[in-house]
Amino acid sequence: MEEHHFAWILWYIWKGRNSKVFSNLDTKPKETLRRAMTESLLWMEAQQEIVQPQNQALHTSDGVLPTRSGRWCFTDGSWKAEDIFSGQGWYSTLEGFEGLLGARNTRASQSPLHAEVETLIWAMECMRNLRGMAGICELLGGHQESEEKFQ
């Protein structure tokens, strides 16, 4: 098992836990592992840079686009109408903090969308605290205007 599989396995265990707690859906362990391995392999393939000569135009008719390498932050918020709490979790590949993740239980959000947005905001606050504005802007694509919005 390669190192990158571990993060995906954790992610799908977390998703399975959310399905059980908030939707009362059981996920078989073998199915969780199969999904995690599949996503891990797809992710590895997507990270391979496609090198194109400078003089060729980009053709998208075949559906193949160049991928961007970099650091990523995955977030997930969970919500259930009857519960008084919402779940929040994130996993980051921020440089210098390999395999960094966070999970917490907060007061209930107004809706599933609110739960997801609150999780995203919390993850961004954590990234800012860890690496400053440069880390957030790297995750957002490095746009100068993004940096100005968060100051």
Considering the domain architecture, whether residues 24 and 91 belong to the same structural domain is answered as no
Q: Rounded to whole angstroms, how far apart are CA atoms 124 and 134?
A: 12
Mean pLDDT value of segment 35-44 = 88
Mean pLDDT value of segment 116-144 = 71
**C-alpha distance from residue 84 to each of 15, 24, 70, 144 (Å):** 20, 16, 37, 39
Say which range, 94-103, 104-113, 120-129, 138-147, has the weakest mean pLDDT: 138-147
Strands 73-78 and 85-92: antiparallel
Mean pLDDT value of segment 73-88 = 88
Considering the domain architecture, whether residues 89 and 147 belong to the same structural domain is answered as yes
Considering the domain architecture, whether residues 151 and 77 belong to the same structural domain is answered as yes
Of residues 80 and 136, more confidence is placed in 80
Spell 68-106 as b/e; 16+ CB within 10 A means b.
Answer: eeeeebebbbbbbeeeeebbbbbbbbbeeeeeebeeeee
Query: 21 lies in which domain range?
Result: 1-46
Q: Rounded to whole angstroms, how far apart are CA atoms 10 and 3?
A: 12
What's the pTM? 0.42
Considering the domain architecture, whether residues 41 and 82 belong to the same structural domain is answered as no
Considering the domain architecture, whether residues 92 and 20 belong to the same structural domain is answered as no
Of residues 128 and 25, more confidence is placed in 25
Considering the domain architecture, whether residues 18 and 77 belong to the same structural domain is answered as no
Question: Per-residue confidence at 127, pLDDT binned at 50, 70, 90?
Answer: confident
Mean pLDDT value of segment 102-131 = 87
The pLDDT of residue 145 is above 70: no
Considering the domain architecture, whether residues 119 and 82 belong to the same structural domain is answered as yes
Domain assignment present for residue 63? The answer is no
Q: Rounded to whole angstroms, how far apart are CA atoms 14 and 1?
A: 19
CATH for 140: 3.30.420.10
Domain assignment present for residue 106? The answer is yes
- pLDDT recorded at residue 66: 41
Question: Per-residue confidence at 69, pLDDT binned at 50, 70, 90?
Answer: low
Domain assignment present for residue 60? The answer is no
Considering the domain architecture, whether residues 42 and 82 belong to the same structural domain is answered as no
Question: Per-residue confidence at 67, pLDDT binned at 50, 70, 90?
Answer: very low
The pLDDT of residue 30 is above 90: yes
The highest-confidence range among 3-7, 75-79, 146-150, by mean pLDDT, is 75-79
Domain assignment present for residue 110? The answer is yes
Considering the domain architecture, whether residues 95 and 26 belong to the same structural domain is answered as no
Domain assignment present for residue 107? The answer is yes
Split into its structural domains, the chain has a count of: 2
Considering the domain architecture, whether residues 84 and 135 belong to the same structural domain is answered as yes
Considering the domain architecture, whether residues 28 and 75 belong to the same structural domain is answered as no
Domain assignment present for residue 61? The answer is no
